[in-house]
Each structure stands twice: as structure tokens, then as C-alpha cells.
């Protein structure tokens, strides 16, 4: 018993000028990027929180505090790599992960497979293990007004023993 865990992650970052747009480890050409201490990769942040949640190991704010200059501008994929290492060291194996980006622009479908590949590589799993999709909120709310990007992720972990 107790061999399976689920984890849920959620994050939001605001659009800002003069920043790169990095989603799922992929830099996407766009006039606006996302504000944040790291590269502000909102998708990878949601995924890390899902993994840490399933491990009952706190959240990314605890592991990578944004008050620490070490994490300024850091690649979130690097942080994901270290979360994956923690996962393996704690005896957990990622069975499956699915993520959704919530935004009006830019279009995600041309970059979806590159994101899946980048995330899967950082996690050390097959690309088939990682799902990425996107939706809009039909012009409603913060994401609908184009003020930022939200992301959610859900993961299933299995005791690796």
C-alpha cells in the first residue's frame, strides 16, 4: 500500500517587456516574456510543484527561494533536473505527467513537442510520459486579457522498490 501518489501544481506569471518567453524549457519568439526571478518558465514551475507535492516534499518556494540570488535568471529546466534527482533519491519513479498552459497568445501547438522533449529529457523519462497542451479562457480573466500565463500540471508517482 501507499505505492502510488498524485501531485498537482499550479503557477501564474505576468507578461513583461524586455524578458524572454520560456515555456516548458523552450524559448518562444514573442514580443513579451514573463516576469520572474528565474527564467519564469511557468509550465516547468507548475510541474515541479506537482512532483514535490506528490513527494510531500514542500514546494519550489521552499527548495528554490526567490530571495536567493543563486536562482536569479536560472533555467527552470535545471531546477527540474534537481527535482527529478530528489525524486529518484527519495525512491519515487514518475509514471506519468500531464500539463496545461492557459494563455491567449502565442500559439503553443508548434512548440508542444519540443516542450515535451525538453521536459522528458530533464526528468530522464520517455517523451511519451509527458503531455503538454494549451487552452485559452475565451478572453475572460487575467489570462484572457493577455496579462500573463497560467499553468497546471498533474503527475503520478510510483514507489520505486
Among 22, 32, 39, 45, binds Mg ion (CB under 5 A): 45
The contact mask relative to Mg ion for 3-42 (x = CB under 5 A, - = no) is --------x-------------------------------
Q: Which stretch binds Mg ion (CB under 5 A): 14-22, 45-53, 80-88, 93-101?
A: 45-53
Place of cell 530533464: 122
Query: What are the residues facing 13 on neighbouring strands?
Result: 149
Among residues 156, 72, 87, which one has the least CA distance to residue 122?
87
Among residues 129, 125, 145, which one has the least CA distance to residue 137?
145
Comparison of 45 and 116: residue with beta carbon closer to Mg ion: 45
Number of residues this chain uses to bind Mg ion (CB under 5 A)? 2
8 Å CB contact between 18 and 103: no
Place of cell 521536459: 119
Q: Which stretch binds Mg ion (CB under 5 A): 43-51, 97-105, 107-115, 123-131?
A: 43-51
Comparison of 11 and 83: residue with beta carbon closer to Mg ion: 11
3-state SS assignment for residue 76? helix
Contact set with Mg ion (CB under 5 A)? 11, 45
Amino acid at each position: 500500500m501507499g505505492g502510488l501518489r498524485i501531485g498537482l501544481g499550479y503557477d501564474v506569471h505576468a507578461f513583461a517587456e524586455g524578458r524572454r518567453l520560456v515555456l516548458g524549457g523552450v524559448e518562444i519568439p514573442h514580443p513579451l516574456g514573463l516576469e520572474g526571478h528565474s527564467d519564469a518558465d511557468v509550465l516547468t514551475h507548475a510541474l515541479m510543484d506537482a512532483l514535490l507535492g506528490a513527494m510531500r516534499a514542500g514546494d519550489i518556494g521552499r527548495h528554490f527561494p526567490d530571495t536567493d540570488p543563486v536562482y536569479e535568471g536560472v533555467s527552470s529546466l535545471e531546477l527540474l533536473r534537481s527535482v527529478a534527482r530528489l525524486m529518484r533519491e527519495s525512491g519515487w519513479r514518475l509514471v506519468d505527467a500531464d500539463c496545461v498552459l492557459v494563455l491567449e497568445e502565442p500559439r503553443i501547438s508548434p512548440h508542444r513537442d519540443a516542450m515535451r522533449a525538453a521536459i522528458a529529457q530533464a526528468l530522464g523519462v520517455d517523451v511519451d510520459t509527458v503531455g503538454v497542451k494549451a487552452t485559452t479562457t475565451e478572453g475572460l480573466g487575467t489570462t484572457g486579457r493577455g496579462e500573463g500565463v497560467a499553468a497546471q500540471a498533474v503527475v503520478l508517482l510510483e514507489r520505486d522498490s
